[in-house]
């Protein structure tokens, strides 16, 4: 039996870009801020502010994009995803709309 390849060896890196902010984001994310995911790690050097709450909501999309899944075939139109804070008028915080984009081609492992 062949060993299963590590996910990090057969995926691609991803960039998550903040496209819109409504209200005041608790993580101080602004439009244009990015989160760069290289392999299994968030590149803190290449990323702006990182929000764990937002990542919890968009992580399934990040993995799908990393693996090259066609989101349209999953019934998902586009790569825009919103963080879990609904923002005004429901909370005093803010909500951020993120775009999840691939960086380069999938590794062939």
- Whether 6 shows a pLDDT value over 90: the answer reads no
pLDDT of 5 over the 80 cut: no
| Cα–Cα distance measured from residue 109 to residue 74, given in angstroms and rounded to the nearest whole number | 25
Question: Is the per-residue pLDDT at 109 higher than 60?
Answer: no
pLDDT digits (tens, 9 = 90+) for 69-101: 888 887 777 678 888 998 888 988 899 999 999
> Is the per-residue pLDDT at 49 higher than 90?
yes
Closest CA to 18 of 83, 92, 66, 90: 83
pLDDT at 68: 84
Long-range pairs for 45-49: beta carbons < 8 A, 24 or more residues apart: 48/18
- Give residue-wise pLDDT tens across range 17-42: 999 999 999 999 999 999 999 988 99
35: number of Cβ within 10 Å = 25
């Amino acid at each position: 039996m062949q060993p299963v390849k590590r996910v990090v060896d057969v995926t691609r890196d991803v960039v998550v870009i903040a496209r819109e902010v409504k209200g005041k984001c608790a993580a101080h994310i602004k439009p244009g801020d990015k989160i760069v995911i290289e392999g299994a790690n968030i590149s803190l050097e290449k990323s702006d502010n990182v929000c764990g709450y937002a990542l919890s909501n968009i992580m399934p999309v990040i993995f799908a994009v990393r693996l090259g899944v066609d989101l349209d075939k999953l019934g998902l139109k586009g790569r825009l995803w919103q963080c879990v804070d609904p923002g005004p008028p429901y909370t005093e915080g803010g909500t951020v709309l993120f775009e999840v984009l691939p960086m380069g081609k999938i590794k062939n492992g």
